[in-house]
Amino acid sequence: MMRKTHGLGPPPSLALNLFDEILNLHLVEKLKFSLPVREITASLHFIVGPGDLYPAVCVASWMNLESKFEAGSKARPFILAKDAFGNNISSTTGDISLFLVHATHVNGFILSDALEVITYMGWDQFGYIVVEFLATTAGSSLLHLEGKNQTLNGSPLPFKVSPRPFEITKCSAEWTYGSNALQIFSNMEVFIYKKDRFSNLVDGFYAFDARVVNKATDLSVPLIDLRLKIAGTGVQLLSFSVSEPGEFELTIFDDKQGGGITDMQNDFTSLLLP
């Protein structure tokens, strides 16, 4: 009888199982390192819209930095609308009805007629609030822009309005002594207030024409000593003497403009006193 003998090492079945396990582990490790690794990142997108209009942060300035105007021309300040945090506000979110505009003289007096007509207030294509008005009162003034009892940043805006050329039909005249009756051979003196169409005084000298007619005879009286001189800003003094007694009518006119001064007391009396 022959005796069975076993070699060194585990039985064949055990060795086979161990080999399979080692092979499987190797394949798993190889597979793990051969697969691409993806990094997953997450981002949250959000939009912050502007808040409500906050007038104290809104910025006021003159369009094209233009702050000098002729009476009757359009002046255009504009407003950069912002919320309380300084964010710009577009025309789709801003309510402009809360803004108020008024003007004062540089000395503080309110100019009720300085803003003759506010012709427009609205948004322009660049997202600014534009205010358009007719500047009519001559002189140096301040434009105040407010909203909800808050003064806009940059307000008040200084501006200056110059008068237009004078118009004879807008001028006025008055007797210097408050009376239109004087002694014969006395100087008759009249202040002429030279004004434009908006009643602004217009400075400078102008050679007005004058005519005196005797009301009793309807004949013109020669004015051989008619004089004109500047008496103040926009004011000229016209003087002459009459060498005969009677009731007269004075007319101050301008042939170039084809009219005369109607805002005056034309009649006067030359008295012959004993």
Q: What pLDDT does 210 receive?
A: 95
**Per-residue b/e over 148-168, b at no fewer than 16 CB within 10 Å?**
eebebbebbbebebbbbebbb
CA 266/CA 270 separation, integer angstroms: 13
The burial class, CB within 10 Å (0-12 / 13-18 / 19+), for 20 is: exposed
Residue type at position 57 = V
For residue 258, what are its two tokens? 């084809």
Beta bridge partners of 73: 135
Q: What are phi and psi of 147, to 5 degrees?
A: -165, 130
Helices (H), the chain: 12-34
Q: What is the residue-wise DSSP string for 87-128?
A: -B--TTT--GGGEEEEEEETTS-B-TTTEEEEEEEEE-TTS-
Tell the residue number behind the tokens 């005084």, with chain if given.
201
Q: What pLDDT does 39 receive?
A: 62
Alpha-carbon dihedral sign for residues 30, 33, 36, 37: positive
Q: Write the pLDDT tens digit of every residue in 104-163.
A: 888 877 776 656 567 788 888 888 999 999 899 999 999 999 998 999 999 999 999 999
Q: Write the pLDDT tens digit of every residue in 44-61.
A: 888 887 888 889 999 999
The segments of the chain whose pLDDT lies below 70 read 1-41, 92-94, 112-117, 274
pTM of the model: 0.74
Please give the C-alpha separations between residue 131 and each of 48, 62, 148, 152, 185, in angstroms, as whole numbers: 29, 10, 17, 14, 58
In the three-class reduction of DSSP (H, G, I as helix; E, B as strand; rest coil), residue 64 is classed as helix
The burial class, CB within 10 Å (0-12 / 13-18 / 19+), for 232 is: exposed
